[in-house]
Amino acid sequence: MPTDPSERFSLKDHLFNAERVGYLSDLLSGGIPGFHAKRFVDDVMASMLDLELTQRVEHIAAVLGQYLDSDFTVAAVQIEASLPPPLDLTLTDDDFGDFIIAPFGQYVVDRGLAPEHLDVSLLLIRSITKRFSMERTIRAFLNEYPTETMAKLEEWCTDENYHVRRLVSEGTRPLLPWAPRVGLDVEEPINLLDQLHADPTRYVTRSVANHLNDIAKSRPELVVETLQRWRSLGKQDDAELRWMESHALRTLVKQGHQGALELLGFVASPQIALTPIEFVGTTVAINSSVEFSFDISADTEVRLLVDYEIAFPTATGRTRTKVFKLKQLELAAGETVTVRKRHPLRGNASTFTLHPGTHTIAVQVNGTKYREADFTLTE
């Protein structure tokens, strides 16, 4: 691992650099007769390296605006002619494409977000998303023209290209990472998800499940009811629907939501007994691991979902809790199983900073806490 900050991996430099800008320029040269490729690269690179990732997208789009036709309808044709081939449709769980295509989407927002350009813009978004996901771009149109954009998304639910179908779900997600919020009520896209939940492509169904997981953070009952309805419809393959349910309910399961657990086949308050948590050592150092174990015994045959929660002290003296997955078990009547876990305590974790002091581990089974015990973390 590099220790010098200057040697650390830079996502913005990996995605947007002179080589990638040169590739974009080559695309534009192939689609626009007389395009000034070298001058375009020079103009982009003149100030791009001083910018952050999102700013680089915006900057390239702004420079692009100086080279495309001032008439947006004509510029849309130029962009269409410059696009690379669509992503490989034989890869049914493909990634969302090459980031250097993102400035095309930003250009559509900058120049095409107007009523007179709406139809052309949406068609262009459909074309671009076959090369790079336009999940951020479509959100600007959902916020500005929700009725018209939702109607277009309704059409795209049955599009032959699964990247377009995925955009319907991903673009309307309430909590899409690194994206502006949309002004839709969380219930509004449900009719779109109803159509997409039976999609044959994992890339689409993963987005649908992630979309439901977003909704679960504010409307858990709506998510459980929606999944119950999909199960009753029987339109999706059983194994795929079970995967979607597990993925969509992951936040609710960690919270011990009984409706979510029951849908997944885990009964509330199972007839089990847990022994006290035992540590290999109750004092551990940052950048080492805490090791613990316990026994679970069942009176009757039962399926168990075992998680553990750690309460971490913060710099302000409060505690922050986080639930971690442990394992699923199927116990026979009278059976006892020993569960062991080694949890790393990394001092350089990107999510939050560890602080010395008393930490509490609690074992949660089918949403109910059964045992807890403390250990001490030292420098």
Last residue of a domain, one of 233, 262, 291: 262
Same domain, 246 and 276: no
Asked if the model's pLDDT at residue 146 lies above 80, the reply is: yes
| Per-residue confidence (pLDDT) for residue 311, from 0 to 100 | 96
Mean pLDDT of 172-191: 96
Same domain, 204 and 330: no
Which pair of tokens denotes residue 202?
């994992």
Number of continuous H segments (helices) and E segments (strands) in the chain: 16, 9
> Does 325 map to a domain?
yes
| Per-residue confidence (pLDDT) for residue 353, from 0 to 100 | 87
Return the SS3 of 147.
Answer: helix
How far apart CA 343 and CA 86 sit, in angstroms, is 43
Which DSSP category does 51 fall into? S
Which DSSP category does 5 fall into? G
Same domain, 92 and 214: yes
Last residue of a domain, one of 243, 262, 281: 262
| Per-residue confidence (pLDDT) for residue 350, from 0 to 100 | 65
> Does 291 map to a domain?
yes
How far apart CA 165 and CA 131 sit, in angstroms, is 13
Q: Write down how long the chain is.
A: 379
Which pair of tokens denotes residue 170?
């991903």
Same domain, 258 and 276: no
| Per-residue confidence (pLDDT) for residue 1, from 0 to 100 | 37
> Does 222 map to a domain?
yes
Same domain, 140 and 281: no
Domain count, the chain: 2
> Does 300 map to a domain?
yes
> Does 62 map to a domain?
no
How far apart CA 216 and CA 199 sit, in angstroms, is 21
**CATH number, domain at 85?**
1.25.40.290
- Residue type at 106 in one-letter notation: Q
Same domain, 317 and 236: no
How far apart CA 73 and CA 84 sit, in angstroms, is 20
Which pair of tokens denotes residue 73?
């309808």
Same domain, 278 and 256: no
Same domain, 95 and 198: yes
Same domain, 80 and 217: yes
| Per-residue confidence (pLDDT) for residue 317, from 0 to 100 | 87
> Does 100 map to a domain?
yes
pLDDT tens figures, 257-280: 999 999 999 998 898 999 999 999
141 in Cβ contact with 183 (< 8 Å): no
> Does 189 map to a domain?
yes
DSSP letters for 303-356: EEEEEEEEEEE-TTS-EEEEEEEEEEEEEPTT-EEEEEEEEE--TT-SS----S
Same domain, 131 and 249: yes
pLDDT tens figures, 208-235: 999 999 999 999 999 999 999 999 999 9
Mean pLDDT of 284-305: 96
**How many CB atoms are closer than 10 A to CB 47?**
12
312 forms beta bridges with 320
Measured CA distances, 274 to 60, 69, 118, 297, 302 (Å) = 59, 71, 61, 7, 14
> What is the torsional sign of CA 151, 152, 153, 156?
positive
Same domain, 240 and 297: no
**CATH number, domain at 347?**
2.60.40.10
Last residue of a domain, one of 262, 289, 306: 262
Element spanning 161, H or E: none
How far apart CA 193 and CA 154 sit, in angstroms, is 10
pLDDT tens figures, 103-136: 999 999 999 999 999 999 999 999 999 999 999 9
What phi, psi does 351 have (nearest 5°)? -80, -45
288 in Cβ contact with 256 (< 8 Å): no
Q: Domain of 280? A: 272-378
Element spanning 372, H or E: strand 368-378
Burial class (CB in 10 A: 0-12, 13-18, 19+), 195: middle
Averaged pLDDT score across all residues of the chain: 94
> Does 87 map to a domain?
yes
Asked if the model's pLDDT at residue 95 lies above 90, the reply is: no
pLDDT tens figures, 38-70: 999 999 999 999 999 999 999 999 999 999 999
Against a cut of 0.85, is the pTM above it? yes
Angle at 265 between CA 298 and CA 302, to 5 degrees: 15
Per-residue confidence at 2, pLDDT binned at 50, 70, 90? very low
Per-residue confidence at 94, pLDDT binned at 50, 70, 90? low
Same domain, 181 and 106: yes
How far apart CA 129 and CA 93 sit, in angstroms, is 15
